[in-house]
Structure 1
Amino acid sequence: MTAPESVLPRGAVRGRLRGELLLGLAVFGLYSLVVMLPEEARARAAREHGRLVYDLERVLGIDVERTLNGWLAGQPVWRVLANYEYAITYLAAALGLLAWLYLRHPERYRTARNAFVLLNLGGIACFALFPVMPPRFMADLGFVDTVRLGRTWGSWGSPMVEHADRYAAVPSLHMAWTLWVGVELARVSARRWVQGLNAAHVVVTGYVIMATANHYLLDAVAAVPLVAAAVFVAERTTPPAGAVRVRAPDAFFLAVETADAPQHAGGVIMLDTSRDAVERADLVRVVGERLDRLPRFRQRLSAPDRRRPVWRDHPEIDWSWHVVERDVDGMGGLRDLIAGIQSAPLPRDRPLWRMFLVRGAAPGRTTVVFLMHHVVADGVGVVAQAVALMEPRPADEDGGPARPRLGRLREAAATVAGLAQLAADVAPPARLPASGTSARRFGTVTVPLDLARDAARRHGARVTDVVLCGVAGALNRTVLDGARPDACRVAVPLMMRAPGGGAEGNHTTAVMIDLPLGAMPETARLAVIARRARVLRSGTRPLAAWFVMRQVGRLMPAPLHARFARAVYGGRFLQGIVSSLPGPDRPLRLAGAPLTEVYPFIPLAPGAPLAVGALGVQRELCFGVSVDPGLVDDADRLTGAVLDVIKELGGA
């Protein structure tokens, strides 16, 4: 949950201290790996590169190092002071600034730390790819090693730090660190005398690194673009304080959204208003009172450009847009309204949710159409956030059942096995007919939950299998033979929510199942589906898909992740989505009116013409079916066929 900086946990802004220390150790470990590279080859290359740098300076007429070094070598006191300055002050200044920012300016700390890490990684890369021998190791050029001459305790190159990288002259990290300190002091508007003191430190450091023959002048010059690039990248990749970066599984649905495939999900909530009416003002009041429990309702996405966007607090909610009224003519008019709502993307310059108060769908009923973008929450999260608006108020829960936890070794083994299984499932599915436009048809039907359960028990299957069979059988009965393939691949979302997770964000993965669409008895169709649906409970494929969605997606650069999402989520790999969602297990009221039914609606994947959601509410299984009109022009025919198939399976 994002909040203003004044109420944000400070550790959430700057990072936990243990994590910061581990990051520092990781960078140092990478530096140590470079030091361990083969010594002889590096020494030969470093000497050649050192001569190259010095020869270039002589051509340019800026080879001042030997003059400075010759004078300092003859000054014992100044030589010792210079050695200590070289060994200590750059380190004290940089670490001191990091500690000060961590404690006093947490809003700036993460950006500064990221810039510091980046400039060090850049330097380490240079040391590995272009080793350069410092002047003090090149006595044949006339340089004096003031470190060895002075035997300064703890100085760079002295016995105490003998294993430091001897060929890390370009760029000068001493100069880079002191320049970076100056940039960050300016960023936080430090006192002028402090900035002046650091400016003097930069000048002294520049003199010392050359006079002690640890660096060439060009080494110091090379530090300037290094710092500039690190600060530039950090400024543009670090989320601002008070903002939360969109997670990879959530950004996935931003990437796949197109004008023809909007990615917002929701529900059609039917209320019994035969006694007391529900007005728009009631909904505004209810949402306003619950805003503390619905953080994404008061946040919007920042401009994403080539990075993952962040959640930013939106200064003011436009209630006239977020909560609106509509009148319809019967359930047919309601379905047409919902089809239109599904066809229009939500604008991203405001919080990504809306509510429609709809009258006229049925006598004594008022409908609330509740929707939010898929980046905000998955299907279970949408249900959880809708329930948070109702009475009685739910206890603090994690928004849905958590997946069982395996031991780390077992989970890793299962994930590897699942990745192999996913690789074997890449055969493209047969295509269902689609119009290729944003037009939608929406249908609803209720199935007694006891009927679905009886059908499952009767045939040794599960309710999810019965739902899948109802969809497959309905497609067989409503799609023309010439346009209907023998099978279609659908994605079945599975919950991967960790204990304690909030209702925001996507915590589901999906497993693909090929549904048989050919002519056959429905009992035989159910047997095939029940056998294939065992992959839903095997654990390996869900773990592998979740690993790809969460971990691999997190490591990908945003543009690459977006291309990956668009490549794998759409008509090339699936033809529909069938989701069986857990519903509320107790009677609920919204704005004082009892809830009777809730029909979920799920966004169509790009190029896929079918999305089915089934939600258990008060012993009814409420189906919401969204279809491309190129598949079925009348969604009610499809939902009616779903009911007929389940009745047949249940022996009704």
Structure 2
Amino acid sequence: MPEAGRRLSVRRIVVWRQVALGLLLFGYYLLVDSLESDARRARADRNGRWLLDLEQRLRIDVEKTLNDWLARHDVLQTLANYEYAYTYILSALAAFVFLLWKRQDLYRRARTAFVLLTGVGITCFLLFPTTPPRMLPGNTFYDTVTHGHTVGSWGSSVVAGANELAAMPSLHMAWALWVSVVLAAAGARGWLQVLSAVHVLVTLLVIMSTANHYLLDAVAAFVLVWAADRVAGLIHPADEHEIVASADAFFLHVEETGAPQIVGGLVIYEGAGGVPSLAEVREVIAGELPYLPRFTQRVRQSRWRRPQWVPAGEVDWDWHLRAVPVADRAGVHAGVAALAAERMPRDRPLWRAALFEQPSGERAFVILMHHTIADGIGTVLQALRLLRPLIRLPAPPSRPTALQTGLATAVGFAQLATDGGRPRPLGTSSDRRSFTTTGLPMTEVKQAASGRRVTDLLLALTAGAIADAQPELVERSGGTLRIAVPLMVRAPDAAAEGNATAAVMVDVPLRGAPTEELYDEISRRTARLRTPTRALASRWVMAHLLRIFPEPAVGWFARTVYGHRFFHGIVSNMPGPTEQLSMAGIPLVEVYPVLPLAPGSPFVLGALSWHGVLSIGLATDPALIDADRVAAAMVQRLEALGESAAERLSPNPAPATTATARVESPAARRTDPGAAPAGS
């Protein structure tokens, strides 16, 4: 499908689950049918006579007239019996195949409507058993079913166990009508919809002329199909009212604690020529709106119903994009911190951007969006739409089989259940926010990693830097920092929208030890976390389990498990492009992730590998952690690690230059403890 016509990915439909649901419905039918008794049959006879008497009073008892006419036509009797026995089943099966093959976007609503109308119909058989006209004691109807001996029809050995007291409502009519509703919703070809309408009319005539149903049974079927479709529409709104996935809505609930959940990216343009202009940036974003569906939608929330994505109308560019004059790089950091600390209103799309203009002519651009739109890597994927040349990040490995996923998820639940308890509090948090950036050369990062995981090195640098910059936290934490590490579980064909990550908890040592010592210890501790089992279990809870609970319960869960009660901070390591990219024709020299603080947690660190640099965006609660001091300590620790490695390789090592100086002098300025503090 060309990108211009791209729609959000439809969640994969697992066929065996649909078959299991069908078998469950059939089992319910058999259960009701097994309740046969003389008293139940007598009750069904009374209900049948009552319906027939009601029709006679209303002068709509057309069954006898149609039945008498059919009794005189042997061939039509046989055809009618076969139509009654088979076409409603075959047409429904064909509709399901059509939906799975052509219109999976409509499948869930249609499936839900079918389950509702069938389940309610069977419940009616249970509560209001009704004998069909041809089986009423003392009736004068001609029984075409038993006289015709039609294979597969009532009275034949094929369906000897069929429920004979299931006249009200007519599921034959209901299923035929449901097929017509499905075809109409799918915009099927005209001739096919006409054929379905003819099938509905023929079924209506057949159920009455064969004396299998009353006219009121068909009326009840019409009402049942209408009601089931309306309810299914509420459960599965159309695309313009798309349900917010539970893993995405999770962050709407988290934000109710007062901690805005805003993700984004900060870019620094090359040169100091006062470019690009605000108008040029707006033109770039406007040109990509067809590929960024959430940028033109807003969230509609209510207390009990799941939130929905709904059209937001025209983009209010004056609000979504603005120019912000700042004095220097510290002012850029302060501006990012201030914007990320603002809760986005729900009456407009959940994104905003700003162009920071410095007197020197240097310009920076930040784009922010609510966490409910995307996770960290999803934000990168959407931001890449604004850059040129268009590139794709390497796709993750192909998805495992359902059996592999199920087994791994089960193992993950067992592992999560045995993980450690709650961490010790670090102190009283505030609602302030600081933000800073620094860049670490990837060549030196990989050299320091020595073939081990870069994420483990990042954890060691973070923990060591926090211990250096905030030594009081070592005692408060008991020497252990609980860090949530997001792992990507995004499917290879997944859209950029939505959250497809799951976090695992890592207890890292918090002390002023050499980085190599911390790195070794963390590598040993994280070895058991490198299998995806914990992440799959966590993801299953977010993406599937939460969907079965009412929204108030989901909100309570989100506010309870996400934040300082279970972890101290977040460290996220994300892949990025290796190419030089530009925006509005201007090359980008620096790119940094912007991630949100979890409620009550004092820090979140995002690392993005971008064109040879591990770009770090660090947000903190300044009441507990000084962002600039920690960033500077990380640079110093990486330099010390490089010097230590050089000393081991050479007996007389030459004096080492700083990592930041070799890459770019602004990085050193950004991490200078004497620089202006980040915004709060």
TM over 0.5: yes
Equivalent-residue separation in structure 2 for 1:625 and 1:8 (angstroms): 34
Shift in alpha-carbon separation, 1:221–1:52, aligned structure 2, 3 A = farther
> Is the CA contact (8 Å cut-off) linking 2:609 and 2:615 kept in structure 1?
yes
- CA distance in 1 between counterparts of 2:260 and 2:455 reads 26
Alpha carbons of 1:269 and 1:48: their partners in 2 closer, same or farther (altered >3 Å)?
A: farther
Q: CA deviation at 1:279?
A: 1.5
Q: Which residue of 2 aligns with 1:643?
A: 635
Partner Cα distance (1:572, 1:532) in 2: 21
CA distance in 1, matches of 2:156, 2:539: 50
1:503 corresponding residue in structure 2: 496
- Superposed CA deviations along residues 474-508 of structure 1, whole A, max 9, x for unmatched, are 33331625644432322111222332434333232
1:574, distance to aligned residue in structure 2 (A): 2.5
Q: CA deviation at 1:422?
A: 1.5
Structure 2 partner of 1:252: 250
Q: Distance in 1 between matches of 2:478 and 2:125?
A: 57
C-alpha change, 1:298 and 1:137, in structure 2 (3 Å) is same
Structure 1 residues 222 and 276, CA gap change in structure 2 (3 angstroms): closer
**1:322-341 correspondence runs (5 A):** 322-341=320-339
1:261 has 2:252 as partner: no
- The structural deviation recorded for 1:265 is 0.6
Q: Percent identity?
A: 35
Q: More displaced, 41-50 or 506-515?
A: 41-50
Task: Compute the displacement of 1:610 (Å).
Answer: 1.9
**Deviations along 1:84-120, whole A, 9 cap, x unmatched?**
65763797689879969979x9899669834641344
* Partner residue in 2 for 1:425: 419
> 2:313 and 2:136 mapped to 1: Cα distance?
65
The 2-side partners of 1:426 and 1:54 are apart by: 65
Question: Secondary structure of 2:372's partner?
Answer: coil
Supply the distance in 1 between the matched residues of 2:610 and 2:9 (Cα, whole angstroms): 38
Query: Residue 592 in 1 paired to residue 581 in 2?
Result: no
| Equivalent residue, structure 2, for 1:603 | 596
Q: 1:2 to 1:154 in 2, by over 3 A?
A: farther
Once the 2 structures are TM-superposed, how far is the Cα of residue 561 of structure 1 from its aligned partner? 4.8
Distance 2:334 2:228 in 1: 53
Matches within 5 A, 1:179-328: 214=212, 223=221, 226-241=224-239, 245-258=243-256, 260-275=258-273, 277-292=275-290, 294-296=291-293, 298-301=295-298, 303-305=300-302, 306-311=304-309, 315-328=313-326
Cα distance in 2 between the residues matched to 1:156 and 1:486: 76
- Post-superposition Cα deviations, 1:11-44, rounded to whole Å, max 9, x if no partner, equal 999x99xx89999866654444345549754456
For 2:635, give the aligned amino acid: L
Q: Does residue 153 of the first structure (1) align with residue 150 of the second (2)?
A: yes
Given that residues 569 and 601 in structure 2 are in contact (C-alpha distance below 8 angstroms), is that contact kept between their aligned partners in structure 1?
A: yes
1:108 and 1:475 map into 2 onto residues whose CA distance is: 48
CA–CA separation in structure 1 for the residues paired with 2:149 and 2:364: 81
Alignment partner of 2:334: what SS?
Answer: helix
What is the TM-score normalised by the length of structure 2? 0.76
Report the Cα distance in structure 1 between the residues aligned to 2:9 and 2:580, rounded to whole angstroms.
Answer: 38
Letter in 2 for 1:473: G
CA contact (8 A) 2:373 2:497 kept: yes
1:226-278 residue CA offsets vs partner (Å, 9 max, x unmatched): 33431221222333256655444333333433362222211221122235632
Q: Is the 8 A contact 1:101 1:108 kept in 2?
A: no
1:113 is matched with 110
Cα pair distance change 1:599/1:132, threshold 3 Å: same
Q: Is the 8 A contact 1:259 1:345 kept in 2?
A: no
Letter in 2 for 1:151: G
Shift of the 502–322 alpha-carbon distance from structure 1 to 2, 3 Å rule, reads same
* Match in the other structure for 2:384: 387
Q: Is the 8 A contact 2:436 2:628 kept in 1?
A: yes
2:536 is matched with 543
Change (3 A) 1:73 1:333: closer
Counterpart amino acid of residue 499 in structure 1 = P
Tell me, in whole angstroms, the C-alpha distance in 1 between the residues paired with 2:120 and 2:575.
53
Letter in 2 for 1:402: P
Deviations 1:517-552, CA, capped at 9 Å, x for gaps: 256554443332111222442222223223333344
The alignment partner of 2:624 has SS state of coil
CA contact (8 A) 2:125 2:168 kept: no
The count of residues paired between Structure 1 and Structure 2 equals: 632
Tell me what 2:83 maps to. 88
1:320 maps to a residue whose letter is D
Contact residue 152 and residue 159 of structure 2 kept, 8 A: no
Structure 2 residue 471 is the aligned partner of structure 1 residue 472: no
**Structure 1 residues 63 and 134: CA distance shift in structure 2, 3 A:** farther
How far off its partner does 1:450 sit?
Answer: 3.7
Moved more, 265-274 or 474-483: 474-483
Change (3 A) 1:198 1:586: closer
Q: Secondary structure at the match of 1:533?
A: helix
Q: Distance in 2 between matches of 1:8 and 1:651?
A: 50
SS at match of 1:347: coil
- Aligned pairs for 1:376-455 (under 5 A) are 376-391=373-388, 393-395=389-391, 397=392, 399-403=393-397, 405-406=399-400, 408-425=402-419, 427-435=421-429, 437=431, 439-455=432-448
How far off its partner does 1:337 sit?
1.4
Please state how far the C-alpha of 1:625 moved relative to its aligned partner: 1.3
Deviation track 1:51-80 (CA, whole Å, cap 9, x = no partner) reads 674698799998999x98888887772697
Question: Residues 394, 206 of structure 1: CA spacing in aligned structure 2 closer, same or farther, 3 A cutoff?
Answer: closer
Distance change >3 Å, CA 595–CA 61, structure 1 → 2: closer
- In structure 2, C-alpha distance between the alignment counterparts of 1:3 and 1:124, rounded to whole Å: 43
AA aligned to 1:468 is: L
Structure-2 change in CA distance of 1:312 and 1:140 (3 Å) = closer
- Counterpart of 2:448 in 1: which secondary structure? helix
| Distance in 1 between residues matched to 2:95 and 2:406, nearest whole Å | 37
* Whole-angstrom distance in 2 between the partners of 1:21 and 1:522: 51
Structure 1 residues 308, 2: CA separation in 2 closer, same or farther (over 3 Å shift)? farther
Shift of 1:564: 4.1
Give 1:150 shift. 2.9
What residue in structure 1 maps to residue 658 of structure 2? none
In the aligned structure 1, how far is the partner of 2:20 from the partner of 2:343?
43
The one-letter code of the counterpart of 1:375 is T
Deviation at 1:402, TM superposition (A): 0.4
**1-structure distance, mates of 2:445, 2:105:** 56
Structure 1 distance, partners of 2:371, 2:281, is: 22
Q: What is the CA deviation profile of residues 163-202 of structure 1, one whole-angstrom value per residue up to 9, with x for unaligned ones?
A: 56315344332454467689889999x99xx99x979978
Q: Helix, strand or coil for the counterpart of 1:258?
A: helix
Q: Report the counterpart of residue 369 of structure 1 in structure 2.
A: 366
Unpaired runs of 5+ residues, structure 1, are none
| CA drift at 1:426 | 6.4
CA distance in 2 between partners of 1:331 and 1:592 (Å): 22
**Structure 1 position 162, deviation (Å):** 1.9
Distance change in 2, residues 1:301/1:209 (3 Å): same
> What is the distance in 2 between the residues matched to 1:511 and 1:368?
32
Change (3 A) 1:200 1:62: farther
Equivalent residue number for residue 527 of structure 1 = 520
Q: 1:389 to 1:436 in 2, by over 3 A?
A: same
C-alpha contact 1:415 1:540 (8 A) present in aligned 2:
yes
Looking at structure 2, the residues matched to 546 and 20 of structure 1 have their Cα atoms a distance apart, in angstroms, of 17
Contact 2:300–2:309 (8 Å) recurs in 1: no
Residues 336-362 of structure 1 show CA distances to partners (whole Å, capped at 9, x for unaligned) of: 21111111122333333222110228x
The change in CA–CA distance for 1:20 and 1:125 in structure 2 (over 3 A counts) is: farther
